[in-house]
Amino acid sequence: MKKVFILCLLGIFSCSQLCERSSHHSNRDKFTVIESYDSKTFEPETEASTTLVSEQESGVSSETVKAQELTPKLKKYCGDIEQSFKKYKWGKSSCEDFSWLHVRNSVLGKPLIWIVFGNETLIEKQPMNTTIVMCGVHGDEITPVKFCFDLIHDLQKNPGQLAENELLVVAPIVNPDSFFIQKPTRTNARGVDVNRNFPTKDWNANAIKEWKKRHASDKRRNPGKRAGSEPEVTFQVNLIKRYTPSKIVSVHSPLTIIDYDGPSIRSDKAKDLEHHAIEANELLYMMSEKAKGYKVSNYPHFPGSLGNWAGKELEIPTYTLELPSSDHTKTNEYWETFGPAVHYAIKHDMRMAPKKQAARD
């Protein structure tokens, strides 16, 4: 921590950027500077060409994050969530009853929170069937936020649904600045689409060019000035790096489809890797079946999108569930329809054997 305060005094970083932390961090917790995620394509978020990342968020620490009593900042944030639930007539959020984890903040300083179900301490001892579910990536997509809270409530009430080797990570509001304003927007507080800002290999060459040509510089799809410039993107990247999931489910609306990005079925692949790709594709259709035959679509991926970065480049099976609408009155209906599909995905074991993982890497 001494280094942190020295940096603050020197003015290299702001104290609010460096020192905002939840009470679940012990005095032994440290911060670490990670040079970059991909030095060839990703410019980190600070002018010093380094990204300040908590060890707990990035996964470089061997210690497990333990959620404790909520900090005043998180209590206030839970109050904001409760007000949104009241606004949309969703009942009680019970936000203060959950063991939230929190390391970094949004552009406007709102906590970027997540919750873990399962025994995280086993990650270092054995491969875990880990699923990350993220909602609220675009603030004007209202229904996914409630969907993630429905999932959290369900797991909180029925923790026995997860086996010992299963881990679930849920980030219910990835882009809070755009969700909590009076008229929610797709982009974050800096006007950047946080699903076009991931550090993909094609970002520098194509992101801005494609935005201008394909989308006529539509402000709703602004990829930002550089890859990974937004804290909400760093948050997602670090969750994925920390938990190394066997699959990711990102919930959006309102395209009325389930989409898949990930390992592709190719004849030149090793047999075991080809089998993994086939299994990942099969899960897509099983999710569709569990959701009453919901439409499956091969939706294109874009420079800077989660599907491109996590699915295509990292080859983590990534499923985008697009709910039918952002109509806040239909959230119960959507949970009843799509909850079984997401539960099936969570239980579906997509772990790769160590030698298969090494071959993929």
Write out pLDDT tens, residues 79-107. Answer: 999 999 999 999 999 999 999 999 999 99
The pLDDT score that the predictor gives to residue 68 is: 54
Please give the structure tokens belonging to residue 81.
Answer: 């969530």
pTM: 0.82
The pLDDT score that the predictor gives to residue 220 is: 94
For residues 249 and 319, the answer to whether their CB atoms sit within 8 Å is yes
Comparing 327 with 7, the larger pLDDT belongs to 327
Cβ burial 55-86 (10 Å sphere, 16+ → b, else e): bbbbbebeeebebeebbebbeebbebbbebbe
For residues 323 and 338, the answer to whether their CB atoms sit within 8 Å is yes
The pLDDT score that the predictor gives to residue 274 is: 82
Cα separation, 280 vs 265, whole angstroms: 10
Domains of the chain as residue ranges with CATH? 64-360 (3.40.630.10)
> Which residues, other chains included, contact 3 with Cβ-Cβ below 8 Å and sequence gap of 6+?
31
Please give the structure tokens belonging to residue 138.
Answer: 């675009």
Cα separation, 100 vs 109, whole angstroms: 16
Write out pLDDT tens, residues 237-271. Answer: 999 999 999 999 999 999 999 999 998 877 566 77
Q: In this structure, is the dihedral angle defined by the CA atoms of residues 291, 184, 207 and 134, taken in order, positive or negative?
A: negative
